[in-house]
Structure 1
Amino acid sequence: MKSETRKKLKMGYINADMTLKEVQKDYTQESVSNNPRPLGPYYTYNDRYLEIRGGMFENFRGILTWISLLVFLIPFHVFYIGLSVISELIDHESNDIVSDIVVLIYCIIVFIVSMYLIIRYFRYIYRFELFTIRHIRVRFNRVTRQVYIQRPKYCGGTVVFKWEHIMPSNFGESGSDMNGTNMVNLMTFHPYKTGFPVAHSVGIGKNTYNAQDYKDEWEFIRRYMEHGPDNLPKPRLSTHLPIPFHGLEGHIKPMIHAAKNAPTFWMYILLIPVFLILLPFYTVGYFISECLCWQPRWPKVIRQAGKKGKPIPKETTLSDYPPKVQQAILESRLEWGVRDEKTGKWVDYGNS
């Protein structure tokens, strides 16, 4: 965010500082679970790399799809009315030409204005679920010892980081046990390690209410990267294609959780019709969202990474972005301070 925008919105810098001990630690060497489990969904798993779904709030997907489709109905509806009026005028079927011309002008104005507002402003809303990448993907390549995150260009694009720089954020030194939060497994690449002015974070896998799930899946990925796929359970692979029931699990779990924690029996009974209405609503919206998105290929250098004789992908740096974006990133670097827990002072690691 640019400093001018911060001033207009009267926003300061978020105090997201971490301790020196937290950012210096190599989290890839510490075991956090005796039960490594691939919760997924995983798209690819072989001796060279594994690939898991990234992103957050997949369990809410579907609401914005329906809202967006209703908004899109406005220009399409007036466009249809305008075509009907033009057809009547051409075929000389109109009884009141003046009224038809007024209606046609009205339709043209509403169509132009609504399309402008949708393209200029509403696209920042509907592109969360429509006309964008179907699912963000994260690829862990054990040969190159790198992590690749595939994102839309307007969200930073595809980035490359060292495996050793990854920091689990839901537990351990860099976070707290997020039990009962229904969050995905969060991973962070802090600027102290990467040299990038700001942190890059990504959520992987499914939402869960069980804090142990975070540790089990992280341990599965950690052992895969450090020791290979031997002695690890093989994950069930999912498909990139849109499937009508993909959204069912993500939406039904929060509802079941709400039912289990209902304070009274009557509240439990009242939740049943809500489930019967909302569950199909969410699931169908999720499926429509998948159908109206696409799954792009990785860049060639990432597809071939780890093969004999093929180049290793370059790690992401500030220079990979346009000048205006670089400036905005530099103006946000103050959010990522590091504090020495012994002295209580800020650590100057070239990011201030």
Structure 2
Amino acid sequence: MRRESFAYTHYPMRFNRKNRKVYVWRTDGTVLEMPWDDIFFTLANVVEQWEVRGHKLAPDNITILETFALSYSDLLTSHDLNPATLRSSDKDFVRGHWEFIRRYMEEGPSEVSRQVQFCMPVDGRRESAKGGMHRILANFSGAPWPFLLMLSPILLLVSLFRIFAMRTSKIPQWPDHVEAACAVEPGDPYAIAGDADGNRIAVYPESAEAAGVRFTSVTGAKA
């Protein structure tokens, strides 16, 4: 009730590779705006869950003024946490998520577009009840049906509270100067949006087709 209800439906981030700035929606509704090259990224641990955090540092490059976390956290193996490890395992999705963002900012969308498997349809709108249920079930992807059946009362309760949180929270609206700085150029072949199920839809399908832009396919998804 105190954290997720009567708050915001989500807390978006924007990575603008053209002006090399990062925009982070704070919990109080204000926006943190930072140059990409000035952010100090590092790993952090919260109750055995690891995440990549970005720090805004003071001029002394020691004092942390503000921190934000990327939108993925997970367990990491001892192999991936070993400083002597030269190559991360294929289970290191925490740094894999970071690498996706880094390559987008440093190398451009053509290097990472095929990794996009779905788009959450929450930009400028609330999550639907169906979409919320999908996100909850995604946490148990691959689990046997007897196990899901046993958990169904709990999942239903969680879903109801999720719907309540969405209906009582405000939709974040970026300031006009951020919208202007991050406006999608007409005909951008990499511009995609999500439909009600999170399937990817090209904003400019003719441009995407002409540029040969494709995305990794998932079951039931539209290209």
Structure 1 length-normalised TM: 0.39
Note the C-alpha offset of 1:252.
4.3
1:166 and 1:187 in contact (8 A); partners too: no
- Deviation string 1:208-265 (CA, Å, 9 cap, x unpaired) is 34661111111111111111111323423211132214444554466679x89xxxxx
Tell me which of the two structures has the higher relative contact order, counting C-alpha pairs closer than 8 angstroms and 6 or more residues apart: 1
2:15 to 128, 140, 143: 140
- Structure 2 counterparts to residues 251-266 of structure 1, below 5 A: 251-252=136-137
CA-atom RMSD, angstroms? 3.5
Aligned twin of 1:160: 33
2:74 to 187, 205, 208: 208
**Per the alignment, do residues 131 and 284 of structure 1 end up closer, same or farther by CA in structure 2, a change over 3 Å counting?**
same
In structure 2, the residue corresponding to 1:144 is in which secondary structure? coil
In structure 2, the residue corresponding to 1:160 is in which secondary structure? strand
Which is worse superposed, 225-234 or 192-201?
A: 192-201
Q: Distance in 2 between matches of 1:214 and 1:165?
A: 21
Question: Mind listing any 5+ residue stretches in structure 2 that lack a counterpart?
Answer: 77-90, 184-223
- Structure 2 residue 153 is the aligned partner of structure 1 residue 287: no
- Deviation string 1:75-132 (CA, Å, 9 cap, x unpaired) is xxxxxxxxxxxxxxxxxxxxxxxxxxxxxxxxxxxxxxxxxxxxxxxxxx2xx22222
Note the C-alpha offset of 1:283.
1.4
Letter paired with 1:161: M
- Structure 2 residue 123 is the aligned partner of structure 1 residue 238: no
Note the C-alpha offset of 1:205.
2.5
Note the C-alpha offset of 1:197.
6.0
- Structure 2 counterparts to residues 169-184 of structure 1, below 5 A: 169-170=42-43, 175=44, 181-182=48-49
- Structure 2 counterparts to residues 279-318 of structure 1, below 5 A: 279-305=155-181
2:136 and 2:155 in contact (8 A); partners too: yes
**Per the alignment, do residues 192 and 278 of structure 1 end up closer, same or farther by CA in structure 2, a change over 3 Å counting?**
same
Which structure has the highest helix share of the two?
Answer: 1
Q: Distance in 2 between matches of 1:290 and 1:251?
A: 14
Question: Mind listing any 5+ residue stretches in structure 1 that lack a counterpart?
Answer: 1-63, 65-124, 261-268, 308-352
- Structure 2 residue 156 is the aligned partner of structure 1 residue 277: no
Letter paired with 1:233: S
Note the C-alpha offset of 1:202.
2.0
Q: Distance in 2 between matches of 1:162 and 1:274?
A: 48
Aligned twin of 1:131: 6
- Deviation string 1:264-306 (CA, Å, 9 cap, x unpaired) is xxxxx8x767612211111121122112212132111111116
Q: Report the structure number with the largest CA radius of gyration.
A: 1
Structure 2 length-normalised TM: 0.59
In structure 2, the residue corresponding to 1:230 is in which secondary structure? helix
Letter paired with 2:119: L
Q: Distance in 2 between matches of 1:196 and 1:207?
A: 25
Note the C-alpha offset of 1:147.
0.6
Aligned twin of 1:199: 65
- Deviation string 1:128-158 (CA, Å, 9 cap, x unpaired) is 222221100110011111110112437xx21
Aligned twin of 2:88: none
Paired residues, number: 163
- Structure 2 counterparts to residues 1-352 of structure 1, below 5 A: 64=1, 125=2, 128-153=3-28, 157-170=30-43, 175=44, 181-182=48-49, 185-192=51-58, 198-209=64-75, 212-234=92-114, 235=116, 236-240=118-122, 241-248=126-133, 251-252=136-137, 275-305=151-181
Which structure has the highest strand share of the two?
Answer: 2
